[in-house]
């Protein structure tokens, strides 16, 4: 069967010409930022609100809930999806137009509470800053008295979901939570990770990186540049634990994920330079004994933002994953 071809969208791609500025920063063009919509009488299918996480770090959370839950005073407790947006650790925000729309659809289609994290960007705040922010978010839902969290969330049914570099974040946050400090998060109980076209790379090139090095959306030079800007200063190459999950046989905390019975859903698409890294990762964690679910098909990097048919497939796979791992 021949592969289905998709036309990549035309837009002002920030990944192509990343301009570094003095004092460890880069030039970022203005982009549309979407306000939260917390009016329960609005006609939208999902409502949202923003809450502060750490005002000193300028981190915050956007919480999405299907409108019917609040409008109908529904007592259903919703699975919680902690969502980490993409952008190579250096671009975009939780309220960027594309990510906000994706989270709305995720909450609507899955009947879930989605919590999107506004985390610190590199190079101003290099890794592990974003990973630290992800953990801060989990501790927030553990202790908050927020009305939506208290009334509508099932904290025993939590998933870490990330797209591209957000997939990298979901994995790294998961490794931390799986370690011995996990008990401190109760009543929050992680059931699995959803790595949507995760941003992994290393010194040795995969076949898809070589084949698609001049990709119109995510060229190889951009993959390299964004890791250069986000990995800790002094890092010699991309064989670092934050970028290459296979380094030294993988993290010791993968065994902790097995012990805790977590599942991992890994997705990838044929015309994405990152696809071989994602496929290799899925096979790698499966061999480690983790319950692994795989979704690989046609498309380009984060095509689900632009192709409704692919978004439907991703949402269906995510729903099936949650159903298979929630017990």
301 catalytic, yes or no? yes
Options 85, 93, 253, 301, the catalytic residue: 301
276 catalytic, yes or no? no
How far apart CA 258 and CA 105 sit, in angstroms, is 31
Q: Where are the alpha helices (DSSP H) in 250-296?
A: 254-260, 275-287
196 catalytic, yes or no? no
DSSP state at residue 77: P
Nearest to 110 by CA among 90, 83, 85, 136: 83
CB-based contact 197:326 (threshold 8 Å):
no
- φ, ψ at 122 (rounded to 5°): -90, 160
Options 100, 133, 272, 276, the catalytic residue: 272
SS3 assignment, position 186: coil
How far apart CA 165 and CA 172 sit, in angstroms, is 11
Sign of CA dihedral 168, 169, 170, 171: positive
SS3 assignment, position 143: helix
CA 313 to chain CA centroid, nearest Å: 17
Q: Which residues of 252-270 are buried (b: 16+ CB within 10 A; e: fewer)?
A: ebbebbeebebbbbbbbbb
How far apart CA 283 and CA 281 sit, in angstroms, is 5
Options 164, 165, 201, 208, the catalytic residue: 164
How far apart CA 281 and CA 246 sit, in angstroms, is 8
Q: Which residues are catalytic?
A: 164, 272, 301
């Amino acid at each position: 069967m021949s592969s289905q071809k998709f036309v990549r969208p035309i837009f002002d791609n920030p990944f192509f010409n990343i301009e570094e500025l003095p004092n460890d920063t880069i030039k970022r063009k203005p982009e549309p930022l979407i306000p939260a919509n917390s009016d329960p009488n609005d006609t939208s299918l999902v409502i949202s609100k923003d809450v502060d996480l750490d005002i000193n770090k300028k981190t915050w959370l956007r919480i999405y809930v299907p409108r019917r839950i609040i409008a109908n005073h529904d007592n259903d407790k919703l699975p919680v999806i902690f969502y980490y947006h993409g952008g190579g650790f250096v671009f975009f925000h939780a309220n960027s137009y594309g990510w906000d729309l994706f989270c709305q659809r995720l909450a609507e289609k899955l009947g879930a509470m989605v919590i999107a994290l506004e985390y610190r960007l590199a190079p101003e705040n290099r890794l592990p800053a974003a990973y630290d922010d992800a953990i801060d978010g989990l501790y927030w839902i553990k202790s908050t008295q927020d009305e939506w969290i208290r009334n509508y969330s099932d904290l025993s049914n939590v998933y870490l979901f990330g797209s591209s570099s957000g997939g990298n974040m979901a994995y790294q946050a998961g490794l931390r939570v799986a370690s011995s400090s996990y008990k401190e998060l109760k009543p929050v109980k992680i059931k699995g990770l959803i790595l949507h076209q995760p941003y992994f790379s290393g010194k040795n090139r995969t076949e898809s990186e070589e084949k698609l090095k001049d990709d119109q959306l995510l060229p190889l030079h951009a993959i390299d540049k964004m890791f250069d800007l986000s990995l800790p200063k002094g890092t010699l190459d991309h064989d670092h634990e934050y970028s290459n999950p296979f380094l030294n046989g993988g993290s010791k905390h993968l065994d902790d994920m097995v012990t805790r019975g977590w599942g991992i859903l890994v997705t990838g698409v044929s015309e994405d330079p990152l696809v071989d890294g994602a496929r290799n990762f899925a096979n790698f964690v499966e061999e480690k004994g983790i319950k692994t679910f795989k979704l690989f098909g046609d498309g380009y990097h984060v095509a689900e933002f632009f192709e409704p048919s692919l978004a439907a497939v991703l949402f269906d796979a995510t729903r099936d994953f949650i159903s298979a791992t929630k017990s």
